[in-house]
Every structure is written in structure tokens, then in C-alpha cells.
Structure 1
Amino acid sequence: MANPLYDTLFGTHQGSDADFLLLPDGGVLSYRDFLAMTARFAHVFSNAGLVAGDRLAVQIDKSPEALAVYAACVQAGLVFLPLNTAYKEAELAYFIENSGARLVLCPDARAQTLAPIAAACGAALDTLNDDGTGGIVDKAQAQPDSFDTVARSSDDLAAFLYTSGTTGRSKGAMLTQENLLSNAQTLVEYWQFSDRDVLLHALPIFHTHGLFVATNVILLAGGAMIFLPKFDVGQVVHEMARATSMMGVPTFYTRLLDTPEFTREVAAHMRLFVSGSAPMLAETHTAFFERTGHRILERYGMTETNMNTSNPYEGERRVGSVGFPLPGVEVRITDADGADVDQGTIGQIEVRGPNVFKGYWQMPEKTAAELRDNGFFLTGDLGRIDEDGYIYIVGRDKDLIISGGYNIYPKEIEMVIDDQPGVQESAVIGVPHADFGEGVVAIVVPKRGASPDLDEITRSIKSELARFKHPQKLIVLPELPKNTMGKVQKNVLREDYKDILSV
């Protein structure tokens, strides 16, 4: 194929009048109309001088046009870089500069703020709004409805997704066409998607889950999506009657269970509920089954790998387990030296398969440290495999916090807190949270004789970091628990404060 990802996901729908996007206002966008929009955007990017391999960074709100930008990047051979809409200027400056993005897209309301950042990084700036207006839409109006797809190979990069490291320096995970396509092909078959499926899509599309899992699966299956701008529980309940499937994070399901209008009758038309991006509490699984008769299918994925494992579509979906390795994906549990551990023993989770990313952008040392020569990726997660082959994630050997489906790295928050007047040091941990899976708690140690202003610390965090990274509790302690090597024992803190957000 000239361009495997585009030809397989998008090209097969050329000329199709089948429904693709079902919109909240009652509008419908067919595959034909969506691909015409895609082609016009591809012309805009080409006319701007972007060529195959160039990076296009976007911090735009969810809309059909935003999704078409992703498709246009695939068709034009560009590397798509979606950025969380909550990121602040300092965060964006790093991503744009580090990626070498040639073009940055943002809403008109953010253009004035981002223009100097883009300019300082040598990138052009254009706009796209959630109502379908913006600079690139104006430019696209005069462009043809077809575009000569740029030839790419399976090993060529299709996307960058940034994932932070415990040092605070974000890493650009390089995802190839094969990474994305192979995973979609596996999931369509494993989860039995078809052109009869209508996916209730309320996830963001700057994240692996909403973009490369949900969207690519529907594209490959030829189904349709009820394309909601965000998760609104009333709207989701209203739309569920015409859906067959939904992918979400645990927060979606806890909020549905808190809504009396969400009944067994509302869910009767559904065939599949999938959850991921954060661990789900057993009580949520049980309550959901009792309410609806559906057992939520939990799976395990990462920014660097897309999906690795899944509970079976047909067969027992075990509460607390993320199921089995997907077809074509290998999972091993190893000790600190990289040797396989005995069955049932906890160790580090390593994965290998066509879904595993190519490495970290401009970070060969980090790539070498996390990608073994034999192709296995050290996920940083700790787990075990039971006697029946089910995989359980029991913790992480990194300090990663997953809250509401978003990855949060404590070092980023600690750096802000440590810079505040009167602060000696800090430690940020994740603790159980019924709604978000994990909540963020920060422990602050004052300098001798000082009394840090917690309100001022909170204001500083809010001004510098995205909202999902904000601690829900600030706790002052005289010192942090440390081992003989001086390393903070965050496991002790997590145990001490495991119930603090449940009271």
C-alpha cells in the first residue's frame, strides 16, 4: 500500500455515504463528507509547506474538524502531535520546541497567547475552533475535495504522544503506522466490532484511548460514532439508546451509577462497555453489573504501546484483572535483572509486539533504558499472572499517578511546590479515589522556622500546571520518611494516607 494507515482506515470509505459521526445537534457526517474535509485540510497543510515527516502540533477542542486534522496528517504523511487542552504555556513551549513542530493549531481564543511561543520555536500558527470555524477552515473552503495520498511505509512515524518522566522532562513517544494499525486490527477482531456498531464517544481525542483506540477501531470496522464534545452524564444517558458500545474511564462509570436515570432499560441496547486508562474499583464492577446486567470489560494499555491486554469478549471478565495478552502481543513478568519470575510472583511487566512504539524522540539513552534489544518494553508497571493466565497490575515501580485516565508525574508538581517560599521539600503521591481511580495528594515539609502559605502554593500550582495535576489535599509534615539511602519512601506515605480522600 502507498500509505498503509490511511489506505486501511480511511481509503476504504472513499465515496461511502454511510454515517460516520452522529452529532449532538442531530447532524450527521458521512464518511464521504468527512474524507472530503480531510482532503481539504491536507491541501492546507501542503500549501503551508509541510512535507512528509514534519510534525503538526494541535491543542484544539474536540470537534469533527479536529478529527479530520488527524486524518489529514495521516494522508499527508505528517506526524500528528495532539496536546492536552489543559496544558499551560510553559508546558506547551516545551512540547513545541522539543518536537520541532512546523505548525501549531489552537482555538482563536488562545492564539494571542500561543503566537509568541510558536514563533520562538520557529513554528507557524493557525486556528481551529470547536464550532468548526477558524483560519484553517477558511483556507480549506477553496481547496479540492480530493488529495493525492502521500506514500509512507509501515515503519514511518504517524504520531508523537508526550508522556512525562519521573525527572519531570516529558518524553515524545514515537508511534509508527504499524503500531496504530496493528492494534486497531487486533481490537476490532478481539472485541467483535463491525459496521453495525455505534460507539458512544465521550472521550477526549488528545489521548490514546479516545483517538487511537476508539476512533481507529470504528474506522476500521466501518461503524459510526456518537461524537460528544465531552462526558456529560445526562447527555450520555440520553444518547445510549442508539449506541451499541462505549469506551470510557472509571470516572464515566461511577458517574453513571450516581445517576438514577441510568437504568437497566437505558443500557439494554448496548453490547459492550470497555474501561481503561486507570484501575477500576471492584465495587464499581459489582454495582454496574447489578444495575445493568453488563460486565465491564477492563483492558490495559499505555501511551507507548496502545493496548496490550484485555479481558475476553466471550469468557470470564475477572474483576481486578486486565485479562490476557492480546493476539500478537507478548507479556512477561521479570525481576530486577530481567529474568522471568515464577507464575504468580509479582515483578515488572514487559511487553513486546507490533504495537510497541519505536522509541522516545531525541532520547536515545532513555529509549535504550526502557526498550530491550530483544524488543521487550519495560512498562514500569508491576504485576503478576495467575494460574489461569489472567494478568493483574498491582502497582508501579515509577511514581506515575493515573487520575481520571490522565497520567500525572509527581516530579512536575513537586518542582512547583519546592520553588515556593518556606518549602524545604515535598512529595506527591496518588491515593485511592472512588471517582477518578487515584487522587493527587501533596506532602509539604517546611524549612526550619518557616510556615509555607498553602493558599499561595495552590495558586502557583493552578497557574503553572493543568487542572488534572492539581493536588486535592496539601498536608504539612515535619519530615518525609526516607530509607538509609535518603530516598523518600512514597510507599509509606501512600499507606498512611490511603483513606484521606474517602472521608
Structure 2
Amino acid sequence: MLTHANLSANVEQVREWASFTREDTLFGVLPQFHSFGMTVLTLMPLATGCHVIYSARFIPKKVLDKIRTHRPTAMLGIPSMYNALRMQKSLCEDDVSSLRYIVSGAEPLSDDVYEGFKKKTGREITEGYGLTETAPVTNWCMPEDNRRGTVGRSLPRIETRIIGEDGAVLGPNLDGEVRLRGPNVMKGYFNLPDETAAAFDEDGFFRTGDMGRLDEDGFLSITGRIKEMLIIGGENVFPREIEEVLNAHPSIQESAVIGQPDPSRGETALAFVELAEGCTFDDTQLRAHCRDGLPQFKVPREIRRLDQLPRNATGKIVRRKLSPDTPASE
């Protein structure tokens, strides 16, 4: 349950953090029924009086044409969108010259997409972070203060803690659960009192379920999801680090990694991949590629090809819809 006060607070936090004014034009490619699309691409522009250009569907060529025509000052998307844009042969520096902010969220921005977009446009994509329960934006790297691999500092009036397994507040550069407190954090889950109570700790901080760390300057890095973390032979392994290696292979469009039971190691990594257009699937080659970039125990025991990985309305891959019983595509 997000109250009027929660939404109003996040609108003000975003507006203050990014200094949005009536002179700005946002480019919206995220659905307005999604929390980010509602707050940042609908409520914030209404409250500020700035323009928004909406695109009902993400079609790279049409999106690029609209950017060229309307010259927005901010674009907010997800990594797969920026990957598709950088693959457009006609993309050049002038196309993004009007943009003050080029922001990615919802999932990690791979080095391949970040470096590829920067090489083609001369511009850096910055990352942000938030959850539906936080209305949603909590962190955002500003271009003038971009720290690659982080989602930036907390927005005004948001407190961030990293909590260890023993419940203690951790210091800089130590991994633990990210917990948040602020006026934008939800009231609770509708008609679910037990789940609501479990979502907050004794100090009123929301338990995000995300693993992360803060550096000495307060920049937050998201290192994985607690529930998605694999334990292979007693070692903690986050799917993200395996996916980063797989996604760097030229035949892979995107990947998703989950755990599958193993009698000797507890779990092993099971990878699902979506191929880039025109590429063929070669399990042996992909596993050899993984061995070049990962310790042996992190190399997926099995890699399965899917025509399409499961995604939500914003295009984010939904790992929970995959299981060891998910068959490979024919």
C-alpha cells in the first residue's frame, strides 16, 4: 500500500535530486502502470509541469526517431533497451546530446552494454535503484558523480543500512541485506498483516531482500538477491556474476541462472540463455567461455536454450519463473 504521502514524498525526492524543472522533457519507455512509470514518468512531470514523450512499445528504430525529433533531456530505461539502441547502426553522439540523464534500472547494467553504448555515443549510462515498496526511487547516480558499478547515493530523506546475518549494522564495503527507511516507504501489504510485519525490522527499516554494500562515500552497490543466492559447495554464488560472463559471449542476447539440487555440492548453477539474432547454440563452447571467466565451481553444470526468457511488464527477466523442470526450447 503506497499512500498519497509516500508518492508525494518520492516525487519531491526525485525532483530535488535531479533538479527537474518545467524546461525538462522526459522520454518514457516504461509502462505507466509500473511504479517507476507512475511516479517518475507521470506524477513527477504533472507536479513539475515538464513535458513527457511516451512510447507505447519499445521498437528501437522508432524510439531513436522520437529522440531525434523531440530532443528529450532525460531517458529512463532498462539495460536491454540500451543494448537494443546501441545495436542501431545509425546511432551517433548527436542523437543523445540533448540528454542530461541517461538512466538504467530494474536490473544490473552489464559492462558489455555500458561500454558499448559509451563507445558509440560518448555518453555514460548511470544506474538507479528502487522497489515498488519504496514508491520506487531510492538511489540514483548523477552523471557528474557517476561511480560505475554502483546505483549511487540515497535520495534526500532516505536512510540506508547494510545488515549482516547476525543482525548487526555493517560498515563500508561489507555485503549484507539492504534496508531502507524514509517517507517514501510503503505503509504495508494490503490485507497481509503477517507479511507486513515481517517486511520491517525493529527500527522501522524495510527489508529489501537485496544484498548490497555501501562504500565510504555512501554509494550503494547491489550484489544480488538473498533468495536467489546459490550455495555451491559451501560457497555463496550470486547468479549475476555468472550471467555477466555468459552475456559477454557474442552469441548470447541475455541469460538467467538459477540453482539446481546436487547430491555432492548442495547446488550447482543451471543457466538459461536467449540467443542473439542469427546465432546458433553451442553448449560446449559456452561452457568453455565460462571456464575462462569463472572459477570451476561457478561454471554452469548445464546450459539450456530458450526462445524467450520469462520477463515482466517492464522487460525484466523473472528468474522465479524458471526451475530445474523448465525444458529447453526445441
The residue correspondences of 1:333-412 to structure 2 (distance < 5 A) are 333-399=162-228
- Partners of 2:221 and 2:122 in 1: CA distance: 24
How far does residue 352 in structure 1 lie from its aligned partner after superposition?
Answer: 0.4
How far does residue 191 in structure 1 lie from its aligned partner after superposition?
Answer: 1.3
- Partners of 1:337 and 1:304 in 2: CA distance: 24
Letter in 1 for 2:187: K
How far does residue 482 in structure 1 lie from its aligned partner after superposition?
Answer: 5.7
TM-score, normalised to structure 2, is 0.72
- Which residue does 1:223 correspond to in 2? 50
Match of 2:262 among 481, 484, 488: 481
Please say if residues 188 and 220 of structure 1, whose CA atoms lie closer than 8 Å, have aligned partners that are also in contact: no
How far does residue 254 in structure 1 lie from its aligned partner after superposition?
Answer: 0.3
The CA deviation string for residues 193-246 of structure 1, in whole angstroms up to 9 with x for no partner, is 111111111211221122222222212221111121111111111111222211
How far does residue 290 in structure 1 lie from its aligned partner after superposition?
Answer: 2.3
2:16 corresponds to 1:193: no
- Partners of 1:218 and 1:382 in 2: CA distance: 32
Tell me the secondary structure at the aligned position of residue 225 of structure 1: strand
- Which residue does 2:308 correspond to in 1? none
In structure 2, the CA distance between the partners of 1:384 and 1:498, relative to structure 1 (3 Å rule), is farther
- Which residue does 1:307 correspond to in 2? 137
- Partners of 1:320 and 1:501 in 2: CA distance: 28
How far does residue 375 in structure 1 lie from its aligned partner after superposition?
Answer: 1.5
Letter in 1 for 2:43: N
- Partners of 2:121 and 2:77 in 1: CA distance: 16
Letter in 2 for 1:354: P
- Partners of 2:301 and 2:264 in 1: CA distance: 20
Please say if residues 383 and 393 of structure 1, whose CA atoms lie closer than 8 Å, have aligned partners that are also in contact: yes
Please say if residues 321 and 390 of structure 1, whose CA atoms lie closer than 8 Å, have aligned partners that are also in contact: yes
Tell me the secondary structure at the aligned position of residue 278 of structure 1: coil
Identical counterparts, % of pairs: 34
Letter in 2 for 1:208: S
In structure 2, the CA distance between the partners of 1:323 and 1:441, relative to structure 1 (3 Å rule), is closer
The residue correspondences of 1:175-324 to structure 2 (distance < 5 A) are 175-241=2-68, 242=70, 243-305=72-134, 306-313=136-143, 315-324=144-153
The CA RMSD measured in Å over matched residues stands at: 2.9
Please say if residues 278 and 437 of structure 1, whose CA atoms lie closer than 8 Å, have aligned partners that are also in contact: no
Tell me the secondary structure at the aligned position of residue 331 of structure 1: strand
The CA deviation string for residues 141-192 of structure 1, in whole angstroms up to 9 with x for no partner, is xxxxxxxxxxxxxxxxxxxxxxxxxxxxxxxxx1111111111111112112
Please say if residues 439 and 501 of structure 1, whose CA atoms lie closer than 8 Å, have aligned partners that are also in contact: no
The residue correspondences of 1:402-441 to structure 2 (distance < 5 A) are 432=243, 434=247, 439-440=255-256
- Partners of 1:358 and 1:483 in 2: CA distance: 44
Please say if residues 32 and 41 of structure 2, whose CA atoms lie closer than 8 Å, have aligned partners that are also in contact: no
Match of 1:497 among 294, 300, 304: 300
How far does residue 483 in structure 1 lie from its aligned partner after superposition?
Answer: 8.3
Tell me the secondary structure at the aligned position of residue 175 of structure 1: coil
Letter in 2 for 1:281: S
How far does residue 501 in structure 1 lie from its aligned partner after superposition?
Answer: 7.6
In structure 2, the CA distance between the partners of 1:480 and 1:205, relative to structure 1 (3 Å rule), is same
Please say if residues 161 and 179 of structure 2, whose CA atoms lie closer than 8 Å, have aligned partners that are also in contact: yes
Please say if residues 298 and 322 of structure 1, whose CA atoms lie closer than 8 Å, have aligned partners that are also in contact: yes
- Which residue does 1:158 correspond to in 2? none
The residue correspondences of 1:432-451 to structure 2 (distance < 5 A) are 432=243, 434=247, 439-440=255-256
How far does residue 493 in structure 1 lie from its aligned partner after superposition?
Answer: 4.3
- Partners of 1:336 and 1:437 in 2: CA distance: 35
Unaligned runs of 5+ in 2: 230-238, 272-297, 306-330
The CA deviation string for residues 323-368 of structure 1, in whole angstroms up to 9 with x for no partner, is 1111100000011232101321111110000111111112111111
How far does residue 257 in structure 1 lie from its aligned partner after superposition?
Answer: 0.5
- Partners of 1:175 and 1:372 in 2: CA distance: 19
The CA deviation string for residues 85-106 of structure 1, in whole angstroms up to 9 with x for no partner, is xxxxxxxxxxxxxxxxxxxxxx
Letter in 2 for 1:287: G
In structure 2, the CA distance between the partners of 1:373 and 1:442, relative to structure 1 (3 Å rule), is closer
Letter in 2 for 1:193: F
Please say if residues 331 and 349 of structure 1, whose CA atoms lie closer than 8 Å, have aligned partners that are also in contact: yes
- Partners of 2:51 and 2:122 in 1: CA distance: 24
